[in-house]
Amino acid sequence: MTAKSEWKEYLDNMYSQAFQEFHRTGHCLALRETLDRMERDCQMNFRADDFAYINAWMDALMMMNSAECVFMYERGYRDCVDTLKQLEVI
| Amino acid (one-letter) located at 61 | L
CA pair distance 79, 1, nearest whole angstrom: 24
Give per-residue pLDDT as tens, 15-64. 899 989 999 999 999 999 999 999 999 999 999 999 999 999 999 999 99
26-45 and 48-86 are packed helices; what angle lies between their axes, rounded to 10 degrees? 150
What are the residues whose beta carbons fall under 8 Å from the beta carbon of 13, sequence distance 6 or more?
A: none
| Residue 7 pLDDT > 90 | no
Model pTM score: 0.63
Are 58 and 46 a contacting pair, CB within 8 Å?
no
